[in-house]
Amino acid sequence: MSQHFDELETRSPEAREGALMARLPGLIARAIDKAPGWRERLAGVVPGDVSSRKALAALPVLRKGDLKDIQQARPPFGGLTTVAPGRLGRLFMSPGPIFDPEGAGDDPWRVARALHAAGIRPGHVVQNCFGYHLTPGAWMVDGGARKLGCAVIPAGIGNTEQQIDLIRTLKPDAYAGTPSFLRIIVEKAQELKLDISNLKRALVAAEALPPSLRSWFHQQGVATVLQWYGTADLGMVAYESEAMEGMILDEDLILEIVRPGTGDPVPDGEVGEVVVTSFNPVYPMIRFGTGDLSAVMRGPSPCGRSNVRIRGWLGRADQTTKVRGMFVHPGQVHEIVRRHPGVARARLVVEGEMANDRMTLRCEAGDSVVAASGGGEALAAALAESVREVTKLRGEVALVAPGSLPNDGKVIEDARKYD
């Protein structure tokens, strides 16, 4: 069987982009026509006009943090589904609570592509150790494995010794679950002096996989350990291949990386919030802000897959923090910068001890911008006034050289001492 899941994975970037943009107006039209929640959010939008990334970027971002309130106002799914609940496949509840619909049909979460990239093939047996209770993680893998033609052991979480019995008796070719639980299984088998060496592959998610842990698995005989990244709202977003150089975007999504607190796309390579548009016909997501930070990696993957790659999970985008009893949001930092053309990037650093907070807005500004503003003192004073107006708090301003702020996606850095 081919190294690649299908021909979509190796098409030219230009062909992929053209196909996605051609589909975009239809997605917008279906959402407006069939889903009252989207009809309200996209009031005044003409679907045919949304056929480019520039037009897409003009639409509002729906952030994951808003879903709970939206669903409570219009239960169960906030009016964002295009069919009635009874016509969906499964109905889930994630922490929050946030309710997650599953579409009908095989592999509605599109995880088969990630399983295939991990070397899992028809006739393999997959021990699925994601939780089958209420949340969709296990069912994402279940559907993808069954589409590939694999048998699935619905093992779930816990019962470590029973898990080992299953591995020894049913001889699964692959493990799916969190990396921490796989480590528990391996260590328990070693403690009991039981052979589970038939388990050669693992596809893990939901937790970090540091290089040291991946290396440890290799040393224990699990030759292939790859990651995938997804959410209960979108399904599978990106996955690793054997090249292990970033995570490759799924073929049925449009990815944007935006500056936290805004809907503004950032240049490739800059860390920002992962915003995804999904062509899910029953639960369309248009500019869905995951709240996760990542960055686009330039160039194609050495494995031959040509889609966009991201660096994986790099933290959370919602950096809202409380300063002197008041919340400060990333969007407020963006508003301050917007008022001062030429200031490219800014980072609000909160320091001090508890009850003695100090705010400093560090702004990248070149010599020409400083000169056009009447000098450094004048620009700093104007920025400090904007800080006060926008946040209702006083703060210092430090002008720094362009490109000197860390590329880590942080707009607000809480550097206070809590000890």
Same domain membership, residue 307 and residue 380: no
Structural domain range at position 362: 321-414
Same domain membership, residue 88 and residue 123: yes
6-21 per-position pLDDT tens digit: 999 999 999 999 999 9
Same domain membership, residue 329 and residue 259: no
> Would you say residue 176 lies in a domain?
yes
The count of structural domains within the chain is: 2
CB 87 within 8 A of CB 212: no
In three-state secondary structure terms, 406 is coil
In three-state secondary structure terms, 345 is coil
CA distance 59 to 222: 45
Same domain membership, residue 56 and residue 71: yes
Beta pairing partners, 285: 278
Same domain membership, residue 328 and residue 308: no
CB 27 within 8 A of CB 40: no
Same domain membership, residue 279 and residue 358: no
Same domain membership, residue 85 and residue 230: yes
**Residue located via tokens 């589409």:** 147
| pLDDT band, residue 318 (cuts 50/70/90) | confident
Same domain membership, residue 409 and residue 283: no
> Would you say residue 2 lies in a domain?
no
pLDDT of 197 over the 50 cut = yes
Same domain membership, residue 345 and residue 202: no
CA distance 4 to 7: 7
> Would you say residue 234 lies in a domain?
yes
CA distance 50 to 48: 5
149-171 per-position pLDDT tens digit: 999 999 999 999 999 999 999 99
Average pLDDT score over the chain: 94
Same domain membership, residue 283 and residue 344: no
Beta pairing partners, 101: 91
User: Average pLDDT of 34-43?
Assistant: 98
Same domain membership, residue 148 and residue 22: yes
Domain boundary among 275, 301, 316: 316
Residues in the chain: 419
User: Average pLDDT of 178-183?
Assistant: 94
Domain boundary among 316, 345, 377: 316
Same domain membership, residue 173 and residue 134: yes
